[in-house]
């Protein structure tokens, strides 16, 4: 079920009323209800994949139980030394096997075919004709974090499967994050939730802001980006710059819009989920960008991969290795394509000089914290960072590496000169209206950059506040573009 | 909790009332059609979905395979809606060719009043079409079909439904008004004191035409774009930038969709053949229909066979 669908418009109020008025008397029943509606939410795409998420949840829950209670283990495992490690590794292997099968199998097969072909051998392995289950990377990582946290002793394993299933499948963040941690979410399902009026109101605001970012900004940018970047033949430099600008805004509006809707929606149910974006395009360097972009994934990799590898407290060669590993894996997480890997590696190259110069934690606060506008230096820093990120998105957006390099070459040389400005290529993409919405979004987020979302600080006067809500509501209704799927569903 | 739900209901009620007012306003101002009027005749193989330029240029009496769905002053978004409705209403017997007009004024018309009209009659229905609140499918004319009918009944306002007609007066004004005063008035209406509006930008215009072509292609229909004849005096008055604007859009559509474009901009016709600067008269449309039929590969009946 998509957030921006009529089904969700009916689903959400119904679930809200049943959750607070029918199932609120018993925590167990309330949790059971969460699992039930989350499975309906997920099964709306394809009921077959419910089995997969149930399997992932069950195995991870069982691994927690076995790690927490040695007596509960089968005798074959009980006898082993370090059985906790064994159980955790087994669960990780199983989850990665499922993920690898559905997401990466075809990629490896194709890569092997190419590799063999380059040495003159021809092989014909069977490619899989399967659809990638929606959000598989998100819920797999969420389940894995539980196993690792239980193993490390950061959290006590839960024996209640309903609570654990609710944690893995909680519908607001099930298909595109934020990737929650058991340490944050499980305790909330273990204790009774209470309704908080300010939280619920803020949740509604955050959802409204998320819908604006997704349906007005991102979807309109998507139309322009597709028109400029999907064209056959050689694309001109200016068209590519504009197209990539639109894509950069699209991917931000799309993903952060989804996160805002998810977080806001969760607040209605008395459950707080972690922040996923902190205005990343206001970053002054790449290190700050990565502290503000897809925070739940970045911190996941930091806690479960980067720090165990030694992080930045090791020798310089190891630091370099760690940075490349984490960005490479991050790229690979996004998709089974060399373009994503190149995207990750390019970001590693951006990040490395900052780490080597020990400047990677230079900007940790809010930009222009005590001023209304940024200084010229801050403005230039933000523009340069955005430019670097935009260039890296080229790999993310291009269908393959050949296209990515050809696009970058055209962008660097401004191929085609200024012709696109006059031949209708740019004028026919609706850019003026798009720039208007983008400017509106940037202005709102800049004003609210100290808050959690673009509507965090609203005027005190009720009439003014409601007028803003109404205006935004109508803007979403009237100026939304044709419905596009959320980009991050594919991951 | 109760306060939250109360506030939420109040907000929704408020939004519904405001939106309802806009809706009533939209229906009162909008073009209205009944879906049943989009049925094709058995022998129809060519249709036109445009404004007065094609309506005045093609005579259905001469061309039995042709069916006219044009409405004077209709902007391209309504052409798209009409085409979608036609494809929905006539499965399995769709025409082979869809004629659409393009004109130098298409991206220019839109004064202060037009702007308001555009907003209510084009963008609101367009957005409502996508709300999908009605079980009629995303692209049906549900707003017109359901809500309009209800509101028409409620406010007892008679709407003009779509009627196949040509403009009432098809006599040549060039013959009546030798000073051609009407031409200056017409030019002022088309090009002077106009303000940009939502739909008369090149982006929206080309985007909508592109969507029409996509819809036609999906249903295996060929779109032929026609620039109907203009009187030489009118042509001379049209500012060059408007001709360039049209050329930009036409080039873009030809490049993107590889459609046929028939340019009759400078078709040599006489004064008597024009009703005004950019519409043909009765005699002009009979001549032009034969020319068009021949260009599209249809056998044109000889002149004076009594049909006209």
Q: Is residue B28 part of a domain?
A: no
Using a CB-CB cut-off of 8 Å, the residues of chain B touching A423 are: 248, 251
Distance CA(A466)–CA(A479), nearest Å, equals 19
Using a CB-CB cut-off of 8 Å, the residues of chain B touching A9 are: none
Interface test with B, best of A428, A469, A476 (most B CBs within 10 A): A428
Nearest to B176 by CA among B269, B268, B275: B275
Of B1, B201, B206, the CB nearest to A20: B1
DSSP string, A342-362: HHHHHHHHHHHHHHHTT-TTS
What's the confidence (pLDDT) of residue A439? 93
Using a CB-CB cut-off of 8 Å, the residues of chain A touching B201 are: 432
Q: Which tens digit of pLDDT belongs to each residue from A34-49?
A: 999 999 998 887 788 8
Q: Is residue B139 part of a domain?
A: no
Can you tell me whether residue B179 is helix, strand or coil? Answer: coil
Whether the CB-CB separation of A309 and A322 falls below 8 Å is answered with: yes
Question: What residue spans define the domains of chain A?
Answer: 6-193, 198-284+363-490
Q: Is residue B57 part of a domain?
A: yes
Of A6, A433, A474, the CB nearest to B132: A6
Question: Are B14 and A466 an interchain contact pair (Cβ–Cβ within 8 Å)?
Answer: yes
Distance CA(B155)–CA(B16), nearest Å, equals 19
Number of inter-chain CB pairs under 8 A, A vs B: 62
Of A204, A473, A483, the CB nearest to B15: A473
Q: What percent of chain A has pLDDT over 70?
A: 89
The sign one gets for the Cα dihedral A390, A395, A398, A404 is positive
ipTM above 0.90, yes or no: no
- A478–B contact, CB cutoff 8 A: yes
Counting the structural domains of chain B, the total is 1
| CA distance from start to end of chain A | 16
Distance CA(A238)–CA(A421), nearest Å, equals 8
Distance CA(A210)–CA(A246), nearest Å, equals 18
Q: How far is CA B296 from the centre of its chain?
A: 21
Q: What chain B residue is nearest to A482 in terms of C-alpha separation? A: B130
Q: Is residue B102 part of a domain?
A: yes
Quote the domain boundaries for residue B103.
Answer: 37-110+163-295
Q: What is the DSSP letter of A128?
A: P
Among A115-129, A244-258, A315-329, name the most confident range: A244-258
Distance CA(B126)–CA(B130), nearest Å, equals 7
Distance CA(A218)–CA(A208), nearest Å, equals 14
- Any idea which residue has 């009918």 for tokens? B149
Q: Token pair of A297, please? A: 């994934």
- B123–A contact, CB cutoff 8 A: yes
Q: Is residue B99 part of a domain?
A: yes
- Any idea which residue has 């929905």 for tokens? B88
Q: CA torsion A369→A372→A376→A377, rounded to 10°?
A: 0
Residue B168 backbone dihedrals phi, psi, to 5 degrees: -60, -45
Question: Are B127 and A432 an interchain contact pair (Cβ–Cβ within 8 Å)?
Answer: no
Distance CA(B44)–CA(B64), nearest Å, equals 7
Domain at B170, CATH number: 3.40.50.1110
Q: Token pair of A41, please? A: 């939410």
- A430–B contact, CB cutoff 8 A: yes
What global pTM score does this model have? 0.73
Per-residue pLDDT of chain B (308 residues), as tens digits, is 888 888 889 888 988 888 777 766 655 555 556 666 788 999 999 999 988 889 889 988 899 999 998 877 777 777 887 888 888 888 888 999 999 998 887 765 543 344 444 445 555 555 554 443 333 333 334 444 445 445 444 544 433 332 333 445 567 777 777 777 777 877 776 776 555 555 556 777 787 888 899 999 999 999 999 999 999 988 888 888 888 888 888 998 998 888 999 999 999 998 889 888 888 888 898 999 999 999 999 988 877 654 44
- A6–B contact, CB cutoff 8 A: yes
Of B127, B130, B252, the CB nearest to A424: B252
Distance CA(B205)–CA(B210), nearest Å, equals 9
Q: Is residue B127 part of a domain?
A: no
Q: What is the DSSP letter of B222?
A: E
Question: Are B202 and A427 an interchain contact pair (Cβ–Cβ within 8 Å)?
Answer: yes
- Any idea which residue has 């084009």 for tokens? B122
Using a CB-CB cut-off of 8 Å, the residues of chain B touching A235 are: none
Helices B76-89 and B202-218 sit at what angle, rounded to 10 degrees? 10
Largest distance between two CA atoms of chain B: 80
Distance CA(B175)–CA(A35), nearest Å, equals 79
Using a CB-CB cut-off of 8 Å, the residues of chain A touching B132 are: 6
Q: CB under 8 Å, gap of 24 or more: what pairs does A62-67 form?
A: A63/A87, A63/A88, A63/A90, A63/A91, A63/A147, A63/A150, A64/A146, A64/A147, A64/A150, A64/A157, A64/A158, A64/A164, A65/A157, A65/A159, A67/A147, A67/A150, A67/A151, A67/A157
Q: What chain B residue is nearest to A203 in terms of C-alpha separation? A: B4
Can you tell me whether residue B280 is helix, strand or coil? Answer: strand
Of A430, A466, A477, the CB nearest to B11: A466
What's the confidence (pLDDT) of residue B306? 45
Q: What chain A residue is nearest to B9 in terms of C-alpha separation? A: A13
More reliable by pLDDT, B149 or A213: A213
């Amino acid at each position: 079920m998509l957030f921006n669908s009529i089904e969700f418009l009916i689903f959400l109020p119904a679930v809200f009323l049943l959750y607070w008025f029918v199932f609120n008397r018993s925590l167990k029943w309330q949790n059971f209800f969460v699992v039930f509606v989350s499975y309906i939410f997920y099964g709306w795409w394809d009921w077959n994949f419910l089995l997969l998420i149930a399997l992932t949840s069950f195995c991870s829950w069982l691994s927690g139980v076995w790690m927490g209670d040695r007596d509960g283990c089968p005798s074959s495992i009980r006898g082993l030394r370090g059985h906790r490690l064994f159980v955790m590794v087994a669960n990780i292997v199983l989850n990665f096997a499922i993920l690898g099968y559905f997401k990466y199998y075809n990629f490896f097969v194709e890569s092997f075919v190419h590799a063999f072909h380059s040495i003159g051998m021809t092989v014909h392995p069977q490619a899989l004709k399967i659809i990638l289950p929606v959000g598989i990377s998100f819920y797999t990582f969420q389940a894995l974090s539980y196993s690792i946290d239980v193993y490390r002793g950061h959290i006590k394993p839960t024996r209640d499967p309903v609570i654990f299933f609710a944690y893995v499948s909680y519908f607001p963040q099930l298909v595109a994050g934020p990737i929650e941690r058991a340490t944050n979410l499980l305790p909330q399902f273990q204790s009774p939730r209470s309704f908080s009026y300010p939280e619920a109101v803020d949740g509604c605001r955050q959802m409204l802001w998320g819908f604006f970012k997704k349906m007005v900004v991102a979807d309109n940018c998507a139309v322009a980006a597709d028109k400029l970047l999907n064209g056959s033949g050689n694309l001109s430099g200016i068209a590519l710059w504009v197209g990539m600008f639109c894509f950069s805004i699209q991917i931000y509006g799309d993903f952060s819009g989804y996160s805002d809707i998810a977080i806001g929606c969760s607040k209605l149910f008395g459950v707080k989920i972690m922040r996923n974006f902190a205005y990343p395009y206001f970053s002054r360097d790449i290190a700050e960008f990565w502290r503000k972009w897809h925070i739940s994934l970045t911190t996941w990799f930091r806690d479960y991969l980067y720090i165990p590898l030694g992080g930045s407290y090791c020798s310089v060669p190891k630091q370099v290795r760690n940075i490349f590993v984490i960005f490479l894996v991050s790229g690979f997480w996004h998709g089974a394509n060399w373009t994503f890997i190149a995207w990750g590696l390019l970001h590693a190259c951006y990040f490395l000089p900052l780490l080597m110069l020990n400047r990677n934690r230079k900007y940790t606060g809010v930009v222009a914290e005590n001023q209304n506008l940024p200084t010229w230096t801050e403005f230039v820093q933000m523009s340069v960072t955005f430019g670097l990120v935009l260039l890296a998105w080229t790999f993310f957006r291009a269908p393959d590496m050949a296209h990515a390099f050809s696009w970058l070459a055209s962008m660097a040389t401004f191929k085609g000169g200024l012709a696109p400005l006059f031949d209708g290529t740019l004028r026919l993409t609706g850019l003026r209206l798009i720039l208007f919405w983008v400017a509106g979004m940037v202005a709102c987020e800049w004003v609210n950059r100290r808050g959690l979302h673009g509507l965090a600080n609203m005027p005190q006067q009720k009439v003014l506040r409601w007028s803003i809500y109404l205006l935004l509501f109508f803007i979403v209704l009237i100026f939304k573009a044709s419905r596009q799927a959320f980009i991050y569903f594919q991951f | 909790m109760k306060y939250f739900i109360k506030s939420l209901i109040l907000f929704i009620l408020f939004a519904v009332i405001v939106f309802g007012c806009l809706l009533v306003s939209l229906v009162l101002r909008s073009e209205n059609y009944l879906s049943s009027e989009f049925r094709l005749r058995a022998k129809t193989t060519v249709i036109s979905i445009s404004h007065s330029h094609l309506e005045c240029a093609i005579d259905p009496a001469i061309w039995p395979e042709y069916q006219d769905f044009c409405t004077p002053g209709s902007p391209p978004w309504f052409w798209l809606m009409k085409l979608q409705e036609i494809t929905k209403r006539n499965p399995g017997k769709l025409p082979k060719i869809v004629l659409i007009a393009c004109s130098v004024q298409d991206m220019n018309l839109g004064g202060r009043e037009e702007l308001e009209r555009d907003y209510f009659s084009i963008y609101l229905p367009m957005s409502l079409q996508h709300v999908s609140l009605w079980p009629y499918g995303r692209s049906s004319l549900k707003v017109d079909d359901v809500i309009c009918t209800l509101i028409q009944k409620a406010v007892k306002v008679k709407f003009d439904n779509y009627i196949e007609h040509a403009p009432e007066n098809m006599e040549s004004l060039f013959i009546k008004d030798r000073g051609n005063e009407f031409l200056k008035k017409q030019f002022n209406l088309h090009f002077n004191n106009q303000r940009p509006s939502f739909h008369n930008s090149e982006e929206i215009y080309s985007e909508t035409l592109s969507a029409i072509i996509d819809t036609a292609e999906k249903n295996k229909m060929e779109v032929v774009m026609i620039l109907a004849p203009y009187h030489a005096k009118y042509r001379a008055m049209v500012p060059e930038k408007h001709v360039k604007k049209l050329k930009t859009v036409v080039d873009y559509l030809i490049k993107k969709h590889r459609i046929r474009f028939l340019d009759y901009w400078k078709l040599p016709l006489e004064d008597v053949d024009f009703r005004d600067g950019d519409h043909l008269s009765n005699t002009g449309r009979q001549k032009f229909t034969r020319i068009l039929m021949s260009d599209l590969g249809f056998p044109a009946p000889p002149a004076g066979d009594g049909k006209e």
